[in-house]
A and B are shown apart, each in its own frame.
Chain A
Amino acid sequence: MVEKLGVFIGRYIAPLLSFLRRSADSTGFGLVLLVRTMLNTPFLFSRRRIRDSLDLCYSYCIGSFLVTSVVALFTGMILALNGGNSLEELGQESLIGPIVAVSMIREMGPFMTALILTASLGSGIAAEIGTMKISEEIDALRIMSIPPIRFLVLPRMVALTLVTPVMTIFAAFIGILGGSLVANSQFDVGWLAYRTDALESLEFRDVFTGMLKSVVFGITIATVGCTQGLLTRGGATGVGQAARRSVVVSFLLVIILGYYISWSFLS
């Protein structure tokens, strides 16, 4: 009996405890990393760091432009299609524009953009820094007295914090455009009426909520990606695990943080 209990603990309980301990460790590490990166913000104002950050902004925008466009376009079309079918029965097709606009600006735009950037950029950051970790490049930076936070983490965090709102606005615009295609072609809503209704329905609070979310999501994705990259161990497998963990953790945090930001503005 005691022997069976030992086997059970060894097989199921010990790995669970180990997982929980690792999760707590990486959460603590991530929070420390975020605070230390913020404390290093003054070092951003050098020509090299600004150039690094802008280069990253450019490559991040280019890297996520196409997929964001396609996903945003079809998300707007789906919102318009579903909303339109219900509103048509009530004779309220004119509300398609406001529904799509508010959804895209406040909720779907930031959320969808964050998921795309998590999958494409967050995992890339984790894999890039993870590879540098296992090939001793991070150690090389430390020995050269170049703090990895200033050299690697800060430009990535700044770039993602800037790129996420920009891509969110872009996604919202494309989504609203996609909605207009469906509203016009399937529910006979005129272009001008759609545009006027959509714009008039938007309040400052909607735009502010969407932008706040996108900034928080950008910081979250960058922090998680850098954290998982810096905690990488164990060769190529470790790099793969770091990329996978960065996606999973960022997804969870984006959804949870997104809910609480919406809740705080709606309540």
Chain B
Amino acid sequence: MIRLENVHKKLGGRTILDGLDLEVKQGETLVILGRSGTGKSVTLRHIVGLMTADQGRVEVLGQEISARHQAALLEIRSRIGYLFQDGALLNWLSIADNVGLPLRERHSMKEKEIQERVEEVLSEIELDGHGDKMPSEISGGMRKRAGLARALIGHPEILLHDEPTSGLDPISSSIINGLIQKLHGTGITQVVVTHDMRSAFEVADRIALLHAGKVIALGNSHEIQESSDPAVQQFIHGLVEGPLGRETSEQLEPDQPDKEESGLS
């Protein structure tokens, strides 16, 4: 379903991905763990073609992403949903309009059908009755769920979650985790980037631990928890001392200049 082979990426002169190999099977929920700046979000961006690899191969839904023309890339993206860290809702549109936006802009569906689908998805993620509110009028957890509803409205085959529970209280986190598990039951392929260990163990079929742009551990929840690798133990127990080091060198992922992110494509 998703395959990354020997992917290399440098941003601002610093190596972010250094020969990353990763495979996500159909219907699987793969959680990517790792410290800040280790390339987790960059990995997601490669999967949707927001970034292209300096070297290596990214294959999604049977097609190589880096070699795609714009039209083909748009077609692949229409089969992928993406939940951003803060929902990334357009603040001048209501929740219902945000959720219905992909259908209004991409499809020739009738307005009535769009509204019915929006209500259906809002109900699935337990946001019924909030469609008329603006993003500024709802909580962070609800914004994330609205972002999830928008990601789901086009019936995606792959769903990517970037820090779905960050900044949320434990109850809101549990609601999000519950939704990810519910989606797992529908057969959708999911990749979840998170720092939240509880969430990771709750939703994952497999967990990949990233460090220095590579996968250093891969296995199911039990295998990761029982791993004798000191780096894995340091990360899951939050130990200050260990092979992963005390400090991340820099917080690189969001702020690095990269021409691909200009918004033109």
Q: Is the CB of B88 within 8 A of A235?
A: no
Determine how close the nearest CB of chain A comes to the CB of B158; give it in whole angstroms: 11
B102 in contact (CB, < 8 A):
yes
Q: Which residues of chain A are near B255, meaning CB under 8 Å?
A: 233-235
A220-248 contacts to B, CB under 8 A, are: 230-231, 233-235
A24-81 contacts to B, CB under 8 A, are: 29, 32-33, 36, 48
A196 in contact (CB, < 8 A):
no
A137 in contact (CB, < 8 A):
yes
Which of A115-123, A139-147, A178-186 lies at the interface with chain B?
A: A139-147
Q: Is the CB of B105 within 8 A of A230?
A: no
B86 in contact (CB, < 8 A):
yes
Q: Which residues of chain B are near A143, meaning CB under 8 Å?
A: 48, 50, 77, 80, 82
Q: If the complex has contacts A48-B104, A234-B255, are A135 and B262 also in contact, measured as CB distance less than 8 A? A: no
Q: If the complex has contacts A140-B84, A143-B82, are A230 and B77 also in contact, measured as CB distance less than 8 A? A: no
Q: If the complex has contacts A140-B82, A234-B255, A235-B255, are A146 and B106 also in contact, measured as CB distance less than 8 A? A: yes
- Chain A interface size, under 10 / 10 to 19 / 20 to 34 / 35 or more: 20 to 34
- A33 touches which of B74, B88, B257, B264 (Cβ 8 Å): B264
Q: Which residues of chain A are near B88, meaning CB under 8 Å?
A: 135-137, 139-140
- A145 touches which of B50, B78, B90 (Cβ 8 Å): B78
Q: Is the CB of B262 within 8 A of A144?
A: no
Q: Among the interface residues A29, A136, A143, A148, which one has the most CB atoms of the partner chain B within 10 A?
A: A143
Q: Which residues of chain B are near A142, meaning CB under 8 Å?
A: 50, 77, 263, 265
Q: Is the CB of B101 within 8 A of A146?
A: yes
Q: Among the interface residues B50, B262, B265, which one has the most CB atoms of the partner chain A within 10 A?
A: B262
B86-139 contacts to A, CB under 8 A, are: 86, 88-90, 101-102, 104-106
Q: Which residues of chain B are near A106, meaning CB under 8 Å?
A: none
Nearest B residue to A151 via CB reads B105
Nearest B residue to A137 via CB reads B88
Q: Is the CB of A138 within 8 A of B82?
A: no
- 11 A-B pairs in the complex with CB atoms less than 8 angstroms apart: A32-B264, A48-B104, A140-B147, A140-B150, A142-B265, A143-B50, A145-B77, A146-B101, A146-B105, A147-B265, A230-B262
13 additional A-B residue pairs with CB within 8 Å, beyond A29-B264, A142-B50, A146-B106:
A29-B262, A33-B264, A48-B104, A133-B263, A137-B89, A139-B263, A140-B84, A144-B77, A144-B101, A145-B102, A146-B105, A230-B263, A233-B255
A binding-site residues for B, Cβ under 8 Å: 29, 32-33, 36, 48, 132-133, 135-140, 142-149, 151, 230-231, 233-235
